[in-house]
């Protein structure tokens, strides 16, 4: 008998936008407007947006853009009542996989300086702080911390990613890092 994982990563669809926005309103000071998701899904061919479903119900979502050799994480969120269950890690792993699939060499992101929870998540994937944009967030004047992955092709990054993947049971995540570059 085939065991089907109850968790599934799927591409975000138009019909998901309402639920994604409901989650965003719970967890972000400044949620994106509805048309931002609609135009990302319909017009941005450099973008990949995903949702994580638990038994069909969306518990989180995330997005990433390809920008030449970099992939830029645009958003990630988990419903407030579903946090601390590994969903953020699962979504972030799925973004890393999409960065590989896009052929990106590095992954970058910005995070509010006060968001230690998110930074801890990124640090588990070996992201490090490389800079700060003062007063970047116009809603409260908060600084943005810029983090990046170093090379996602490096053995150290791939090992960590593979370790994290081994603790995740979800469908639709992908194949893992490209094997041809694995090595010492
Ligand atoms: C950042 C965010 C996406 C993380 O999502 P999450 O689902 O809570 O992430 P995880 O569960 O994978 O990890 C969070 C913590 O739970 C712990 N955890 C994971 N699985 C767990 C489990 N089964 N039982 C208990 N704890 C668990 C992790 O070890 C981690 O602990 P740490 O923060 O002390 O290192 C979430 O907090 C969020 O949506 N925040 C609001 C939006 C936001 O800030 N987004 C980022 C913008 S840059």
pLDDT at residue 127, rounded to an integer: 98
Distance of CA 78 from the midpoint of ligand 1 (Å): 8
User: Which residues on neighbouring strands pair with residue 167, listed in sequence order?
Assistant: none
What pLDDT score does 183 carry?
A: 42
Q: Which residue has the higher pLDDT, 65 or 2?
A: 65
- CA–CA separation, 77 and 90 (whole Å): 11
Indicate if 122 belongs to the active site. Answer: yes
Q: Any idea which fold 7-168 has?
A: Aminopeptidase (3.40.630)
In whole angstroms, what is the distance from residue 167 CA to residue 83 CA? Answer: 17
Global pTM? 0.95
CB 70 within 8 A of CB 29: no
Classify strands 70-78 and 106-112 as parallel, antiparallel or unpaired: parallel
Catalytic residue among 49, 61, 100, 122: 122
Considering the candidates 10, 110, 136, 142, report the single residue annotated as catalytic.
110
Share of the chain above pLDDT 90, in %: 89
Residues sharing a CB contact under 8 Å with residue 115, sequence separation 6 or more, in sequence order: none
Cβ < 6 A, ligand 1 pocket: 27-28, 76-78, 83-89, 111, 115, 117-118, 120-121
Residue 2 clears pLDDT 80, i.e. is over it: no
pLDDT value for 22: 97
More confident residue, 158 or 2: 158
Is residue 38 within 8 A of residue 14, CB to CB? The reply is yes
CB 132 within 8 A of CB 110: no
Write the pLDDT tens digit of every residue in 153-165. 999 999 999 999 9
What is the residue extent of each domain of the chain?
A: 7-168
Distance CA 37, CA 150 (A): 28
């Amino acid at each position: 008998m085939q065991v089907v994982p109850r968790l599934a990563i799927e591409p975000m669809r138009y019909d998901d936008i309402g639920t994604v926005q409901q989650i965003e309103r719970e967890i972000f000071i400044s949620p994106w407007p509805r048309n931002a998701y609609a135009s990302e899904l319909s017009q941005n061919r450099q973008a990949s947006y995903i949702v994580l479903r638990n038994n069909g119900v969306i518990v989180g979502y995330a997005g990433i853009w390809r920008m030449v050799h970099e992939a830029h994480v645009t958003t990630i969120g988990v419903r407030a009542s579903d946090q601390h269950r590994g969903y953020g890690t699962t979504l972030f792993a799925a973004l890393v996989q999409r960065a590989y699939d896009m052929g990106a060499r590095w992954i970058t992101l910005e995070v509010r300086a006060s968001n230690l929870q998110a930074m801890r998540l990124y640090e588990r994937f070996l992201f490090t702080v490389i800079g700060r944009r003062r007063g970047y967030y116009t809603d409260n004047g908060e600084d943005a911390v810029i983090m990046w992955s170093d090379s996602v092709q490096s053995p150290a990054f791939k090992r960590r990613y593979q370790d994290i993947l081994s603790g995740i049971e979800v469908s639709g995540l992908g194949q893992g890092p490209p094997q041809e570059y694995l090595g010492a």
